[in-house]
């Protein structure tokens, strides 16, 4: 080798040595940087409670990294770690993008601790008592419990009480089956009904009246079977600490199947209070008494009492016999008797009839037919007493207390005097009495309707076709115009007109159902007597003082308009007022007192009445030149005019006279 080559070789060796030193230095620097990187990316996990910190372990569940003791080295952004320790529940935490050197505290929860206890035999009443509290009843006790020291008591009437002390650690389950101490027991079962099969705890003792066996204390099932008797079943308790039990059993007889034979067929069979089929079989208690009934049209009803024990293998027979009974009929008043549509004579009537249902009608002219059914009893008399209702009474019962006249929307109110006898007019010594107010006794027999208020201008216009249409009473109408209004209204309503107008005369149809003017007697009775013990002087009573707002009369506001006025009385209307401006009176009607005087149906007469005579439903239909008006008006101010007995004869018309309508109710 030349000197040049030697120098070249030394230069190469020196260069290789330098490269090696540089590589080693770079490796050391890389290790230092990697360690620094790993250190700075580690996360400390602090596990609580502190006593399990040293026992805990960490493991990577997802992401890239590894654990070093209590630290986690992350090699990826997202990472989840499982923390666990013996006796405690595992927990998974998500570290995510945690900051470097971060300390994470994780608290683990203890695993559930508990017990699983049972007793060696099956008992229904085992009580598990923990710290003096009954925590379970039954053969088993399973429960989660907190770690700690416990005292358990086990009690049952079938074994000797037990006590068990135990400790329960974290996450531990104590399991144990307790052997119990039971006593020996002699059980004797005896039958009162003679030999039969006795089964004790599954063991059969046949054809015996007494069965003996020795058993441990406990609960056992006893079965008893015997022909013709109902089976017996019972659970018998043999308690701990006793040595014997004698059980005496009396069996109930088994049901008997009973069938029936009835004659004739097709009747009504009643058994147990219900309609039944006599062709059915019935399972019945042998020693209980039963009742069966059978009936058919044309035959006497029959009932049979029986004990099923007497009908084993044979039927209960129920045969009906044709029968008749006596019916005694009477009625008030006497009437004609129709039985099954056949005229059988008049009441009182005694008649023999078959023991079936018969349709009876009692009939008399002027009375409502009385219809009913009668079923005679065999060999007995059936007494029937009936009171017939007259057609008039029935019509009264059907009357509406109030209705509206559809053509004019007028409310009508029903009045039923029911034969009230009243003295109308006024005695001579009554203050304000006039000579034309003759006393007369009137019997008010017929029910009637009266309008609640006077006919208004609008209502009058609806029927007559002319006039105003206001809500004030129509006035300046003559008596004959009021009569014509009533007749026209009756026609509109499909009723027979009450009045027949012949020239200047008017004939009254007393039995017509058409509209009319109220009679003077009706007007005065409604105003003075309705719902009162005796007729009063005024519509409100007998006191001379006018009640506040009693009605529209000549008050202080009418001063200068009317001839006179009532001082210190103000009704807020100087002249005529709309209907129903004041409260209804006790009779339910408006403005019987005040507003306008009213035409009534009577002709005016100055002939006195017979004081000894009672006039029924009095109305003066004898024609005269004038007709009667009743009641005070907005012009009235004197005691004479304000009284309910005040009457006046009027020819023609007047600005303070109107009318209200009425109608027969029967």
pLDDT band at 32 (very low <50, low <70, confident <90, very high): very low
Contacts 24+ apart (CB under 8 A), 243-246: 243/183, 243/184, 243/185, 243/186, 244/185, 244/186, 244/187, 244/188, 245/185, 245/186, 245/187, 245/188, 246/188, 246/190
Question: Token pair for residue 280?
Answer: 């059915």
User: Is 640 in contact with 647 (CB distance < 8 Å)?
Assistant: no
Predicted confidence (pLDDT) at residue 145 exceeds the cutoff of 70: yes
Least confident of 74-88, 234-248, 278-292, 329-343: 74-88
Domains and CATH numbers, the chain: 41-77+94-107 (no CATH), 113-178 (2.60.40.10), 184-249 (2.60.40.1120), 256-319 (no CATH), 324-392 (2.60.40.1120), 399-664 (3.90.1580.10)
The percentage of residues in the chain with a pLDDT greater than 70, rounded to a whole number, is 92
Least confident of 90-99, 399-408, 573-582, 640-649: 90-99
Average pLDDT over residues 448-469: 96
Q: What is the mean pLDDT of the chain?
A: 88
Query: For residue range 511-524, what is the model confidence (pLDDT) as tens digits?
Result: 999 999 999 999 99
Pairwise CA distance, residues 152 & 113, whole Å: 16
Least confident of 276-280, 430-434, 617-621: 276-280
Predicted confidence (pLDDT) at residue 15 exceeds the cutoff of 60: no
Predicted confidence (pLDDT) at residue 36 exceeds the cutoff of 60: no
pTM listed for this prediction: 0.48
pLDDT band at 463 (very low <50, low <70, confident <90, very high): very high
Least confident of 134-138, 492-496, 627-631: 134-138
Residues in the chain: 666
Q: What is the β-pairing status of strands 140-145 and 148-156?
A: unpaired
Average pLDDT over residues 384-410: 87
Q: In this structure, what DSSP letter does residue 465 have?
A: S
Per-residue model confidence (pLDDT) at position 307: 92
Does a cis peptide bond (omega within 30 degrees of 0) precede residue 49? yes
Q: Which residue has the higher pLDDT, 525 or 390?
A: 525
- Work out the end-to-end distance of the chain between its first and last CA atoms, rounded to an integer number of angstroms: 168
Among candidate residues 94, 665, 96, the one with its CA nearest the CA of residue 399: 665
Average pLDDT over residues 147-169: 89
Average pLDDT over residues 648-665: 97
Average pLDDT over residues 629-641: 97
Per-residue model confidence (pLDDT) at position 109: 79
Pairwise CA distance, residues 81 & 90, whole Å: 10
Does a cis peptide bond (omega within 30 degrees of 0) precede residue 348? yes
Listing DSSP states for 82-111 in one string gives: EEE-TTB--EEEE--SPPTT-EEEEEPPBP
Q: What is the β-pairing status of strands 324-332 and 381-387?
A: parallel
């Amino acid at each position: 080798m030349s000197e040049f080559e030697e120098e070249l070789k030394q230069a190469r060796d020196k260069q290789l040595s330098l490269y090696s030193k540089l590589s080693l230095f770079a490796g050391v620097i890389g290790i230092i940087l990697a360690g620094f990187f790993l250190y700075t990316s580690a996360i400390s996990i602090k596990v609580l409670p502190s006593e399990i910190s040293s026992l805990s372990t960490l493991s990577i569940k997802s992401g890239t990294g590894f654990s070093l003791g209590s630290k986690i080295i992350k090699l990826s952004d997202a990472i989840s770690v499982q923390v666990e320790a013996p006796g405690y529940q595992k927990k998974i935490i998500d570290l995510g993008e945690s900051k470097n050197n971060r300390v994470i505290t994780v608290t683990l929860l203890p695993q559930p601790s508990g017990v699983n206890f049972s007793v060696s035999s099956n008992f229904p009443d085992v009580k598990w008592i923990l710290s003096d509290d009954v925590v379970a009843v039954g053969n088993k006790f399973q429960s989660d419990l907190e770690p700690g020291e416990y005292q358990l008591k086990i009690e049952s009437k079938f074994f000797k009480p037990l006590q068990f002390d135990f400790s329960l650690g974290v996450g531990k389950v104590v399991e144990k089956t307790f052997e119990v101490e039971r006593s020996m027991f002699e059980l004797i079962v005896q039958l009162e009904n003679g030999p039969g099969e006795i089964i004790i705890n599954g063991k059969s003792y046949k054809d015996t009246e007494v069965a003996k066996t020795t058993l441990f204390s406990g609960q056992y099932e006893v079965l008893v079977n015997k022909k013709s008797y109902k089976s017996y079943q019972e659970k018998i308790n043999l308690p701990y600490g006793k040595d014997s039990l004698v059980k005496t059993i009396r069996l109930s007889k088994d049901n008997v199947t009973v069938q029936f034979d009835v004659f004739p067929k097709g009747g009504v069979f009643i058994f147990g209070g219900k309609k039944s089929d006599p062709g059915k079989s019935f399972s019945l208690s042998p020693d209980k008494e039963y009742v069966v009934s059978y009936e058919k049209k044309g035959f006497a009803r029959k009932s049979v009492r029986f004990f099923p024990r007497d009908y084993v293998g044979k039927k209960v027979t129920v045969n009906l016999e044709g029968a008749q009974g006596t019916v005694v009929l009477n009625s008030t008043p006497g009437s004609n008797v129709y039985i099954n549509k056949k005229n059988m004579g008049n009441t009182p009537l005694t008649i023999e009839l078959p023991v079936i249902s018969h349709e009876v009608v009692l009939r008399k002219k002027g009375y409502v037919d009385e219809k009913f059914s009668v079923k005679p009893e065999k060999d007995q008399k059936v007494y029937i007493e009936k009171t017939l209702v007259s057609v008039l009474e029935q019509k009264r019962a059907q009357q509406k207390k109030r209705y509206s006249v559809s053509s004019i929307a007028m409310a009508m109110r029903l009045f039923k005097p029911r034969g009230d006898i009243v003295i109308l007019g006024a005695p001579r010594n009554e203050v304000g009495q006039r000579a034309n107010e003759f006393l007369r006794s009137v019997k008010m027999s017929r029910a009637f309707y009266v309008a609640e208020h006077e006919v208004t201008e609008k209502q009058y216009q609806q029927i007559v076709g002319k006039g105003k249409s206001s809500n004030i009473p129509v006035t300046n109408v003559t008596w004959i115009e009021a009569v014509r209004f009533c007749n026209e209204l009756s026609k509109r309503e499909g009723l027979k007109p009450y009045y027949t107008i012949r020239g200047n005369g008017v004939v009254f149809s007393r039995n017509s159902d058409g509209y009319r003017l109220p009679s003077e007697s009706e007007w005065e009775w409604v105003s003075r007597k309705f719902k009162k013990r005796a007729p009063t002087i005024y519509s409100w009573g007998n006191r001379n003082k006018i009640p506040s707002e009693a009605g529209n009369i000549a008050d202080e506001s009418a001063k200068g308009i009317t001839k006179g006025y009532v001082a210190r009385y103000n009704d807020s209307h100087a002249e005529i007022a709309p209907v129903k401006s004041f409260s209804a009176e006790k009779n339910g009607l408006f403005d019987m007192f005040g507003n306008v005087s009213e035409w009534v149906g009577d002709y005016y007469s100055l002939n006195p009445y017979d004081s000894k005579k009672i006039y029924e439903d009095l109305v003066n239909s004898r024609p005269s030149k004038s007709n009667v008006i009743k009641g005070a008006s907005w012009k009235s101010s004197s005691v004479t005019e304000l009284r309910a007995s005040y009457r006046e004869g009027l020819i023609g018309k007047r600005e303070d006279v109107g009318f209200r309508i009425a109608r027969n109710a029967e």
